[in-house]
Amino acid sequence: MIFVVDVGNTNITCGVYAGKELKATFRIMSKMPRTSDEYGILLMDLLKTKEVDMDQIEGCIISSVVPDVMHSLTGGIVRYLGVTPLVVGPGVRTGIKITTENPRSIGADRIVDAVAAYEKYGGPVLVLDFGTATTYDLVTADGSFSAGITAPGIRISAEALWEKAAKLPKIEIKKPKSILAQETISSMQAGLMYGQIGQTEYIIKRVKEETGLQDLKVVATGGLGRTIADETDTIDIYDPALTLEGLRIIYEKNCG
């Protein structure tokens, strides 16, 4: 079995693969400082809860956009799970060519998503990840990561509303019954959700216009991705495990 770990700005998402089958997933917060022992014990407890036999874990791969947690996290994995993680970065084979102006500036999570979308669905493909930031990444037919767009995520936008406007409350982020809101909470929900849907549709439209790829596949992932995907026909596929799949694929390319 392979233990895959995606360290995001908000959560650390973990999965366990037996071959190509995803056997278990769980999340922990990434913003809370932890020692390597705390990470190790927490991961062991969560794996036991998911009925994963840790003796069967043969390898591990990590992608991370939060450098501060890596020393403790990798130390905990080595000490308590008994495997040395492969960390996605320069020198790791991905099967994707990065042709942007500064390839090293592309986050590991975006590369992993691009690998999974290209391997699973082919190219050209536009990969959307609705996370802390909302990202749109273009992978061409020959497997080149050629362009990316970055926007504030829904949660960032929501936090900006209630932190910067004294009279606006914290709210649950969900789609209201109607865009024609008649009170504060549903008006905020309408602005956040329908605003994100509108942004998504416009960016996809512009990417197709500027590339001329009207048959471009659009694949989405990320926490709030399903809600957006359900509300627009511009997204072809919602794949909640896309990032974990990408990690598995990259591991197999390097260690399989």
Residues with catalytic function: 109
| Of residues 210, 211, 243, the one with CA closest to residue 129 | 243
C-alpha torsion 247→204→162→179, nearest 10: -130
Token pair belonging to 119: 């391997």
Q: In what order do the strands lie in the sheet with 237-238?
A: 97-98, 144-152, 133-139, 125-130, 217-221, 237-238
Q: For residue 149, report the phi and psi dihedrals to the nearest 5 degrees.
A: -125, 135
